[in-house]
Structure 1
Amino acid sequence: MNDKKIDVLLVDDHAVVRAGFRMLLSSQAFIGQITDVDRGELVCHEYERSHPDVVVMDLSMPGIGGLETIRRLKRQDPAAIILVYSIHDESVYVERAMQAGAKGYVTKNSAAEVLAEAVSKVMQGQRYIDPEILPGLDDFKQPAATLHYGEVVELLSPREFDVFCRTAKGLTAHEVAAELHLGYKTVANYNTTIKNKLNANTTADLANIAVALGIIKP
């Protein structure tokens, strides 16, 4: 990671929980400004006001709840990075949160270092699922390794294919944006679409697919 600190927006309807997670995160050297709100209805406005790098959000809240909040925020900014922290460790909650647009999922029972690691990882563009619940997700969104080259070309638009190839080769979103003369958020949006189309979880999955198809050398 570079030296830029990660600004965080905490979303939880319990003041004590927010205070605890604020203290936990603020103890990490890489965490910058921390703001918080107590319900989903306030998230989009606060996100626009404070421009956080990562939104750390509970699912079980009064009002519109966490899943709908994720969907609304992703409509507002498809590049928004959302990490769910929840009391629920069942796979159905993880899958629904990730399908709604979350980038990671940890439980409130996790050790402090797990949440800190999760924030760091999702900020780097990786997906993160709490290691304690990952074994229960064996069938969760396996990468589409069986695709053929022609199918990938068919699935992806020409611009998506350009982004896919560069991302699979290890270029960051900023580097891809510079090469293709696109905005960073545009590239981030393309990457989200590409992963969805190819049933991939991570950039490493994209690289594996590209290697399997002979698009890049291993």
Structure 2
Amino acid sequence: MSFTSPIKILLVDDHPLVRAGFQRLLIADDSIEIVGEADNGQSACDMYATHQPDVVIMDLNMPSDANTEEVSQNLNGGLEAIRRIISHDPEARVLVLTAMEIDPFPAHVVSAGAKGFLTKRCAPDELLEAVKAIYAGEEYITEEIRSRISGEGAGESASLASLTRRELQIFSFLAEGRTVSQVAEEMFLSPKTVHAHRTNIFRKLKISNNSELVHLAIRHNIVQA
């Protein structure tokens, strides 16, 4: 597959070393040009508007913005950035490249409007193939990921897949150690509403306390130990 002009890439990941590694891989291909890098969701949206890249390569687990003293690191930053970019430009091509491959993340990514989903375990050639396919107007989602999106799965992954988008956001915040009051303030909800969602989350995941929730989140790479 050849192109008359370079594919303009916006690279979004909150880890500079990770961005540097992917940048070296990508620019080794003469058909690709990195036009910008971002380390949080807000910056990604701003840089998209400025640079109008052909493809956005986006991690999920990163801050929503950099305006707070203690920046939260959670999947909401990536998902929200995807939704905002797609809202700004329905034709935007977003490729998610993440370590968070278990359910329910692939389904939420596709629902948000991304055109592709790869894990950071992918081979270098696969990343390049995915970028070029998405630039050409195709989707790039492996059969394994498609099977997960279709609902196949078992155990904890299936239970996580049963969470709604709002429950998943609250799950993520609670797994980071935030209190119900802090989650309520962050999401502009009442503490009573957050408590109700927390109860539903515990029921769906068959857990009984925050410690079990945190351990489950660590096992599925939602938060780091």
| Structure 2 length-normalised TM | 0.58
Q: Secondary structure in 1 aligned to 2:79?
A: helix
Report whether the alignment pairs 1:65 with 2:95.
Answer: no
Task: Give 5+ residue unaligned stretches, structure 1.
Answer: 141-218
Identity %: 40
CA distance in structure 2 between the aligned counterparts of 1:116 and 1:126, rounded to whole angstroms: 14
Report whether the alignment pairs 1:137 with 2:138.
Answer: no
2:29 is matched with 28
Is contact 2:11-2:34 (8 Å) kept? no
CA distance in structure 2 between the aligned counterparts of 1:52 and 1:104, rounded to whole angstroms: 16
What's the CA shift for 1:35?
1.5
Report whether the alignment pairs 1:10 with 2:11.
Answer: yes
What's the CA shift for 1:138?
7.0
Is contact 1:22-1:34 (8 Å) kept? no
Could you list the per-position Cα deviations for residues 62-99 of structure 1 after superposition, in whole angstroms to 9, with x for gaps in the alignment?
Answer: 23511011011111111111000000121421110010
Structure-2 change in CA distance of 1:138 and 1:15 (3 Å): closer
Q: How many residues align?
A: 139
CA distance in structure 1 between the aligned counterparts of 2:149 and 2:96, rounded to whole angstroms: 19
CA distance in structure 2 between the aligned counterparts of 1:71 and 1:138, rounded to whole angstroms: 18
What's the CA shift for 1:32?
2.0
Deviating above 2 A after TM superposition, structure 1's stretches of 4 or more consecutive aligned residues are: 133-140
Could you list the per-position Cα deviations for residues 104-130 of structure 1 after superposition, in whole angstroms to 9, with x for gaps in the alignment?
Answer: 000011110111111001111111014
Which AA in structure 2 matches 1:28?
Answer: D
What's the CA shift for 1:34?
3.5
2:56 is matched with 55
CA distance in structure 2 between the aligned counterparts of 1:14 and 1:95, rounded to whole angstroms: 24
Is contact 1:91-1:136 (8 Å) kept? no
Give the RMSD, CA atoms, in angstroms. 1.7
1:82 is matched with 94
Task: Give 5+ residue unaligned stretches, structure 2.
Answer: 65-75, 152-225
Is contact 1:104-1:122 (8 Å) kept? yes
Selected match of 1:104 from 103, 107, 116: 116
